[in-house]
């Protein structure tokens, strides 16, 4: 009797899962699309071909498609993350009172730093430019050129006085939208009120530990699958209000750039802003975004074409993994790998404060060429630029190509990947605020893709704990 029940149970489960698979094949999303909970694109339905069936690539792609598009996948991922965090040694600061205490302590830390006397300068301060500096001359050769680095100190920002007290209770729910050809707007992502409040608290806390003239910058790059919608005749634009809300409700000195607004026109004009075989943005897209921040600092940024590049024309990225037949059906991507105009010296800073030399640009024939991919702990890149300012870039893998376009404007550029697999909280010997103070960081950039940004609640809490 027991064996009969087991057989019936197994048969019932097979029928259930088989039925769910059929429903998914009939009604599921067939094109690759971004996951908000994972830093990657979810697989689309594989192309059916005789060669794909013979070499096994179709069945491999079908298995990946069914796995990536299982019903309620995001909720399962979120539930798993919650269970893992609950089992974590560090635990989560979910209690409202505990979080409020943490925010108050961080604010107090910022006030204490502001009250500390600064060392007397040994040289006269660099004068603030009264005119917009001219861009560095265009380089025409492939080898690095001996050019004068950009040495201007950023001009002060004219920030309007707030007309009313900023109350985070008034922060609204936000959206990432697509505009159809007929003018109607479709909501692609939703950013709940509590997630917006959390990320604004993060930015305010980091702003509190920076110098008086420091800034916290934020960009939220979408995935290439989202950009592909703009190549579809059905859609003619994208947008959202995340950045506007951050700029309205954050403390002075916090500024968010809308990547959608920066990239919309060039993307619609057909410029190469996202890889087709990988889930990252291209160097051109990262440069356009970085230049928006530099403009905000009062500096005329170098155009993308003014840099020298080493061209990689055989790059196959994440979309080709676990898919043997992919390369036979798709052309490789072309990667422009920037050649610095000054000899940048890179250092990986370990938790015991020892250092290892690392390159700014590696010889890898992929996106990993930038900053040697992602590495744990901290990295510091000394640029040779004499401007008296330094910055820290906190971001996921989208930040690696972005970071190189900051090197002409800072004496040193530091980078930190805050994801749990790269930031070893258990062995951390100093906090981010201590690192900021010791290395005289002026500006902090948060470059977080839509997969690890505003809606990544665990990352938001970790960013506060790291500080």
User: How far is 418 from 399, CA to CA, in rounded Å?
Assistant: 11
CB 383 within 8 A of CB 136: no
Query: How many Cβ atoms sit within 10 Å of the Cβ of residue 271?
Result: 15
Among 395, 371, 398, 448, smallest CA distance to 286 is for: 398
Q: What is the pLDDT of residues 26-80, one digit of tens each?
A: 655 655 555 544 444 566 666 666 655 555 555 656 666 666 666 555 555 445 4
Instruction: Identify whether 270 is part of a domain.
Output: yes
Instruction: Identify whether 141 is part of a domain.
Output: yes
Q: What is the pLDDT of residues 261-271, one digit of tens each?
A: 999 999 999 99
28 plus 170 within the same structural domain: no
Nearby residues of 152 by Cβ (< 8 Å), 6 or more positions away:
126, 129, 133, 299, 387
62 plus 110 within the same structural domain: no
Pairing of strands 390-395, 443-447: parallel
Instruction: Identify whether 123 is part of a domain.
Output: no
Instruction: Identify whether 457 is part of a domain.
Output: yes
Q: How far is CA 132 from CA 129, 135, 290, 298, 302, in A?
A: 7, 9, 17, 7, 12
62 plus 140 within the same structural domain: no
Which of these ranges, 20-24, 83-87, 193-197, 318-322, has the smallest mean pLDDT? 83-87
Which of these ranges, 231-240, 254-263, 266-275, has the smallest mean pLDDT? 231-240
CB 444 within 8 A of CB 394: yes
Which of these ranges, 74-83, 95-104, 272-281, 430-439, has the smallest mean pLDDT? 95-104
Mean pLDDT, residues 250-279 taken together:
92
What is the pLDDT confidence band of residue 17, given thresholds at 50, 70 and 90?
A: low
Instruction: Identify whether 460 is part of a domain.
Output: yes
User: How far is 363 from 360, CA to CA, in rounded Å?
Assistant: 10
362 plus 254 within the same structural domain: yes
User: According to the model, what pLDDT value does residue 30 have?
Assistant: 58
User: According to the model, what pLDDT value does residue 333 have?
Assistant: 87
User: How far is 230 from 226, CA to CA, in rounded Å?
Assistant: 8
User: How far is 67 from 25, CA to CA, in rounded Å?
Assistant: 12
User: How far is 226 from 88, CA to CA, in rounded Å?
Assistant: 33
User: According to the model, what pLDDT value does residue 100 have?
Assistant: 41
Mean pLDDT, residues 340-359 taken together:
82
What is the pLDDT confidence band of residue 92, given thresholds at 50, 70 and 90?
A: very low
Helix (H, G, I), strand (E, B) or coil at 375: coil
Pairing of strands 308-315, 333-339: antiparallel
Residue 353 has pLDDT above 60, yes or no: yes
| Distance from chain centroid for Cα 346 | 21
Q: Which residue has the higher pLDDT, 457 or 239?
A: 239
Q: What is the pLDDT of residues 383-425, one digit of tens each?
A: 988 899 999 999 888 998 899 999 999 999 999 888 877 787 7
Tell me the two tokens of residue 274: 């996202």
56 plus 155 within the same structural domain: no
Q: How many domains does the chain have?
A: 2
Please give the full DSSP string across 413-434, using - where no structure is assigned.
EEEE--STTT--GGG-SS-HHH
User: How far is 460 from 466, CA to CA, in rounded Å?
Assistant: 10
Instruction: Identify whether 5 is part of a domain.
Output: no
72 plus 111 within the same structural domain: no
67 plus 207 within the same structural domain: no
User: According to the model, what pLDDT value does residue 321 have?
Assistant: 76
User: How far is 209 from 98, CA to CA, in rounded Å?
Assistant: 20
Instruction: Identify whether 285 is part of a domain.
Output: yes
Query: How many Cβ atoms sit within 10 Å of the Cβ of residue 300?
Result: 16
285 plus 420 within the same structural domain: yes
* For the ranges 15-29, 150-164, 258-272, 304-318, the one whose mean pLDDT is highest: 258-272
56 plus 198 within the same structural domain: no
Q: Residues 142, 146, 147, 150: is their CA dihedral positive or negative? A: positive
Among 278, 299, 298, 301, smallest CA distance to 288 is for: 301
What is the b/e burial string over 415-431, where b = at least 16 CB atoms within 10 angstroms of the residue's CB?
Answer: bbbbbeeebeeeeeeee
For the whole model, what pTM was predicted? 0.67
**Pure H helices in 40-126:** 50-55, 57-68, 73-87, 96-115
- Residue listed under structure tokens 């026109």: 265
Parent domain of 416:
101-116+131-466
165 plus 303 within the same structural domain: yes
Please give the full DSSP string across 160-218, using - where no structure is assigned.
PPPSS---GGGPPPEEEEEEETTS-EEEEEEE-HHHHHHHHHHHHHHHHTS-TT-EEEE
214 plus 285 within the same structural domain: yes
Residue 24 has pLDDT above 60, yes or no: no
Which of these ranges, 9-23, 73-87, 234-248, has the smallest mean pLDDT? 73-87
Among 74, 90, 10, smallest CA distance to 42 is for: 74
Instruction: Identify whether 6 is part of a domain.
Output: no
30 plus 135 within the same structural domain: no
Q: What is the largest CA-CA distance in the chain?
A: 91
């Amino acid at each position: 009797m027991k064996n009969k029940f087991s057989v019936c149970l197994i048969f019932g489960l097979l029928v259930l899962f088989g039925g769910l698979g059929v429903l998914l094949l009939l009604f599921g999303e067939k094109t690759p699309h971004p996951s908000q909970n994972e830093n990657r694109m979810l697989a689309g339905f594989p192309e059916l071909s005789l060669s794909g069936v013979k070499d096994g690539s179709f069945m491999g792609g079908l298995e990946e498609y069914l796995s990536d598009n299982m019903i309620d996948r995001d909720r399962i991922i979120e539930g798993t993350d919650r269970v893992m965090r609950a089992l974590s040694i560090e635990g989560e600061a979910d209690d409202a009172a505990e979080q409020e205490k943490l925010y108050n302590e961080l604010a107090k830390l910022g006030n204490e730093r502001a009250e500390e006397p600064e060392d007397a300068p040994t040289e006269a301060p660099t004068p603030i430019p009264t005119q917009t500096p001219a861009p560095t001359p265009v380089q025409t050769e492939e080898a690095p050129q001996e050019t004068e680095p950009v040495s201007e100190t950023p001009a002060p920002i004219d920030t309007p006085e707030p007309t009313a007290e900023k109350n985070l209770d008034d922060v609204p729910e936000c959206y990432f939208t697509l505009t159809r050809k007929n003018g109607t707007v479709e909501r692609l992502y939703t950013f709940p009120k509590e997630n917006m409040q959390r990320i604004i608290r993060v930015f305010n806390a980091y702003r509190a530990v920076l110098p008086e003239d420091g800034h916290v910058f934020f960009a939220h790059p979408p995935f290439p699958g989202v950009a592909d919608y703009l190549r579809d005749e059905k859609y003619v634009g994208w947008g959202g209000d995340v950045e506007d809300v951050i700029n309205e409700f954050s403390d002075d000195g916090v500024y968010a750039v809308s990547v959608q607004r920066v990239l919309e026109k060039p993307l619609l004009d057909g410029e190469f802003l996202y890889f087709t075989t990988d889930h990252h943005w291209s160097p051109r897209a990262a440069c356009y975004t970085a230049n928006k921040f530099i403009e905000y600092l009062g500096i005329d940024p170098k155009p993308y074409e003014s840099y020298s590049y080493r061209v990689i024309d055989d790059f196959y990225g994440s979309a080709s993994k676990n898919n043997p037949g992919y390369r036979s059906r798709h052309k490789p991507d072309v990667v422009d790998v920037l050649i610095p105009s000054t000899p940048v010296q890179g250092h990986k800073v370990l938790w015991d404060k020892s250092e290892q030399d690392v390159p700014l640009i590696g010889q890898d024939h992929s996106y990993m060429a930038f900053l040697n991919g992602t590495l744990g702990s901290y990295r510091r890149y000394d640029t040779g630029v004499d401007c008296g300012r330094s910055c820290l870039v906190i971001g996921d893998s989208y930040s690696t190509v972005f970071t190189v376009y900051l090197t002409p404007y800072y004496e040193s550029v530091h980078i930190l990947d805050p994801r749990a697999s790269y930031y070893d909280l258990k062995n951390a010997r100093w906090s981010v605020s201590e690192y900021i103070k010791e290395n005289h960081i002026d500006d902090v950039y948060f470059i977080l893709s839509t997969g690890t940004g505003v809606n990544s609640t665990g990352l938001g809490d970790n960013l506060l704990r790291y500080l």
